[in-house]
Amino acid sequence: MDKYLISIIMPTFNRGYIIKNAIQSVLDQTFLNWELIIIDDVSDDNTEEIVKSFIDPRIIFVKNKENKGANYSRNLGCTIAKGDILAFLDSDNIWKNEKLEKQIRELKIANEDVAFVFCKTERIDQANKVSIIPDFEPNMQELENILRRNNIIDMSTVLMKREIFNKVGAFDEEMPRLQDWDILFRIIVVFQYKAVYIPEVLAYNRIQENSISTDIYKYQKAIVCFLKKYNTYLEPEDIQRFFSILIKNTKNKMTLEKYVDELVDCVDLDFTDLYRILAQQFYQSVQYNQILFLWKKNMEKSKERTIFISDYDWNKMTIALYGLGRWGELIYSEMKNCGFQVKYGIDKKVKKFHDLKIVKMQEIPQCIDMIIVSVIYEYKEIYRELTKYYSGKIISIEELVSDFRFK
């Protein structure tokens, strides 16, 4: 297998404190016929010094004359590359020793329409939360459908045929983020190539504080670029989802209006649907903020006054809580602190929640005096569904918080 030359492309910028780990993981590969092309995007730390401390003729170091971004650096590395097989490794990621060997073995026996091989990656975020991506084994149809909504492939896990990389058009240097998703979408959805999946963790990705994957402004711009390029390959519900993500992550009204103006002429989406999404997201954010304000206000009062007046005789009521997420946890804690009888929980997914007896919506006991719905955004729909099985009092979290009036 060593007759195949793998060109590994590593863009970097100010990663002197961590790049040695990435380089060492390449040097430790059991597959030996590789070249590592490191493109430094004008770092002003000790990145160059660290790279040059590794004495190996397979390591090639190139420094851009000016800062051009990761996509430009990756594309430059690919033009320098001598191998027919390309691999990509970010300078804050590392590989398992057998990563290249296992992947080249699969690529060697794959059909001609297979563009790349990929695997699982272990992702560690800034809060040290560990996740495995992907956490299931997608077939090709599932992968194509998923890529219309999201990306589950880390580029550092990909081993790709160079001829296909060139055919689909390399990395889009106008994309400020989501560049991995962009090129993978082109390969799988637009050009209809296939991929081979190895269901094993062979790469590790630790998200850095200054990573572009944490830059929300670049994320917004990337969503707009993605929609402009690929909206004809997306279903209406996929486009609506993209708009929802864009709205959710854009806090500035003028910026949001600018994005919408950019997209309405090129995206085939009914204006009624678009503005329904806009209005719904605005309403939800306002409602959420109002509830938080009321809760904070009442909690501040409760520190000074322990007696409150209410429209309900809480001490004599048997209470059920619908929705056992973040708001449910908060409501449960506060109700228990006040000595109220929260005895039942209603939730489709949760099996156990403190000392509550979990019941299905269809099995709500008639001994319950009140159900508190802790879900904010879908209260009306939940209310209608609950009334099919329960005839007692149902209140929203907004009503609950408003009812606690201290004196």
134 prior amide bond cis, ω within 30? yes
Mean pLDDT on 192-218: 81
State the pLDDT at residue 269: 56
State the pLDDT at residue 19: 95
Torsion from C-alpha of 93, 95, 96, 101, nearest 10 degrees: 170
Instruction: Reply yes or no on whether the pLDDT at 105 is more than 70.
Output: yes
Mean of the per-residue pLDDT values of the chain = 84
State the pLDDT at residue 292: 59
CB atoms < 10 A from the CB of 19, how many?
Answer: 25
pLDDT in tens, 9-36: 999 999 999 999 999 999 999 999 999 9
pLDDT in tens, 280-333: 555 555 555 555 556 555 555 555 544 444 566 777 888 999 988 877 888 888
CB atoms < 10 A from the CB of 189, how many?
Answer: 17
State the pLDDT at residue 212: 47
pLDDT in tens, 370-394: 999 988 767 888 898 999 999 999 9
SS3 182: helix
Mean pLDDT on 149-162: 95
Q: How far apart are CA 402 and CA 207, in angstroms?
A: 41
pLDDT in tens, 178-201: 999 999 999 999 999 999 999 999
State the pLDDT at residue 407: 44
State the pLDDT at residue 211: 54
CA nearest to 347, candidates 334, 361, 336? 361
Which distant-in-sequence residues (6+ apart) come within 8 Å of 14 by Cβ? Answer: 43, 44, 45, 47, 210
At residue 341, what are phi and psi to the nearest 5 degrees? -95, 85
State the pLDDT at residue 165: 97
Q: How far apart are CA 402 and CA 290, in angstroms?
A: 10
Residue 397 pLDDT grade (very low, low, confident, very high; cuts 50, 70, 90): confident
SS3 345: strand
Q: Say if residues 341 and 318 touch (Cβ distance below 8 Å).
A: yes
Mean pLDDT on 109-134: 89
Domains and CATH numbers, the chain: 6-212 (3.90.550.10), 215-282 (no CATH), 307-402 (3.40.50.720)
State the pLDDT at residue 21: 95
What are the distances in angstroms from CA 376 to CA 291, 340, 395? 9, 22, 11
CB atoms < 10 A from the CB of 276, how many?
Answer: 12
State the pLDDT at residue 194: 97
Mean pLDDT on 339-365: 87
State the pLDDT at residue 335: 79
